[in-house]
Amino acid sequence: MPGSREVAPIVDPLRKRFGAVMDVETLPSSAALSARYGNDDGRLFLVRPDGYVAFKARVDQGARIERYLRSALGMERSLGV
C-alpha cells in the first residue's frame, strides 16, 4: 500500500461520499499482507464486513471503486445516473 499522502486524492473523496457506510484504513507494508494480497504496489481493496474482498484496483483506478460502490448501493437509480 502506498503512503497515505499518495492515496489521499483518491481515498478522501470516497471517505466523504461513502463514509456513512464504510471505514477507510491505510495498512502498513507487511510480508503477511503482501503474501495474502500481492505485492505492495499501491492497490485499493474494498473488503466486505464478512472479510471477503469485494473489489480491488490500482490506486490510479480509484474511480472504478466509486462506480462499484454506487452500483452496489443502488445509487445510480436514485441519482439518475
Supply the DSSP string of 61-81, one letter for each residue: GHHHHHHHHHHHTTHHHHHT-
Domain count of the fold of the chain: 1
pLDDT digits (tens, 9 = 90+) for 38-74: 766 677 888 888 888 888 888 888 888 889 889 988 8
pTM: 0.66
Domain of residue 9 covers: 4-79
pLDDT digits (tens, 9 = 90+) for 9-27: 888 888 898 888 888 887 7
All 3 cell numbers of residue 51?
Answer: 472479510
